[in-house]
Every structure is written in C-alpha cells, then in structure tokens.
Amino acid sequence: MALKITHSYLEDSIAVLRHYKGLAERAMAQVADEQLFTELDRESNSIAITVKHMAGNMRSRWTDFLTSDGEKPDRNRDLEFVGPPQTRTALMAIWEEGWACVLTSLESLTDADITRTVTIRGEAHSVMQAINRQVAHYSYHCGQIVLLAKHLGADGWTALTIPRGKSEDYNRRLLAGQASQR
C-alpha cells in the first residue's frame, strides 16, 4: 500500500479496507474454481465459506450503520458457515455485495460522524470503534483467504507483495525512485 499522508481517519480506513479487499481478490484469482471450496480439515473453512461469512457480516454491520444495531435480526450467522454459493461467479457476487455495503456506508460518513454512537449486538461503540472492529475482522479473514489460496495454488503462486528473496531488489528500486524525485 503506497504511502499517502492523510488527516482523515475515514479516508485512511477506506484505503486500508480496499487494500485488503484487493489482496484477497488477487489471491482468489490464483486458485482453480474447485479450490475455492476446499477445506483443509473438518474444522477449517474454505475460501468460499469465509467469503460467505464476511458478506453476511458486512451486510449486517453496514446496512443502516448509524441507525440500527449492527447485528440485524434476520442474520443467521451459523448459516454463513454452510452451503456457500456453488460457482465462482455467484461467490464473487456476494463478495462484491458485501463490500458495497461497507464502502458505500463508510463513504457516506463525515469526519464529524466518528464520535457518534452505534450499537453492535446491543453494545455501544463510537463509530471509530466500530470501524476499527471491522477493519480488524476483515483483514483477519482476508489473511485467511490469502493463506488458503497460497497453500492451494502453491505451484503457480505469484506473490501479492514483495516476492521471497527480492527484498533487496525492491529496496534498491525504491531508493532509486526516491533519489530521482529529488
């Protein structure tokens, strides 16, 4: 994620969330369709289940974010962990719907909203606390998606960040770029 000086908590939060969304998408793009549904063991979630859970959480937390509890009465969290959509297209559709809830809601907020109070499961949070909670939650699950995709697609894996053994090359290019900007 490129450095961008910002004084807006919201702007930074949106950028961080978009970064993790992109990492997970680039990871999922590197696995075969059937691998999206692979569970490593009976206690593990597949990429598809993780996506379904995230989408359910996103819809619940970010629909009517400022005006209703973040745990919607129609959400059945337990069902998020069974029966994911059966195609990549359907899976990516719920992924995009979930992220649209998050990003649309965040982009509608102002910096003045940060200190407002919202509830999640009946518990009061400042808007900032609620955002922090979800940034942590989504980055955690995006990391799981990346780990699973890297494991499942190991033979043809392309690094999402600096490839192993390439840190020195990266640092040299970075320093050369900074020198040329002076």
Provide the CATH number for the domain around residue 119: 1.20.120.450
Cα separation, 28 vs 146, in Å, equals 7
Q: At what angle do helices 88-108 and 9-28 cross, to 10 degrees?
A: 170
CB atoms within 10 A of CB 106: 19
What's the start-to-end Cα distance of the chain, in Å?
A: 22
Closest Cα to residue 57, out of 11, 105, 10, 16?
105
Could you list the residue range(s) of the whole structural domain that residue 126 is in? 10-180
User: What residues are paired with 125 via a beta bridge?
Assistant: 118
pLDDT band at 3 (very low <50, low <70, confident <90, very high): low
pTM here is: 0.88
Q: How many domains, in total, are found in the chain? A: 1
Residue 4 forms part of a structural domain? no
Confidence check: pLDDT of 169 > 90: no
Per-residue pLDDT of 110-163, as tens digits, reads: 989 999 999 999 999 999 999 999 999 999 999 999 999 999 998 889 999 888
- CA distance linking residue 123 with residue 131, whole number of Å: 14
- Residue-wise pLDDT tens digits, 82-102: 999 999 999 999 999 999 999
**Residue 2: inside a domain, yes or no?**
no
Say whether pLDDT at 4 is over 70. Answer: no
With a cut of 80, say whether residue 60 has pLDDT above it: yes
Inside any domain, residue 5: no
Instruction: Output the pLDDT for position 166.
Output: 76
Is residue 36 within 8 A of residue 48, CB to CB? The reply is yes
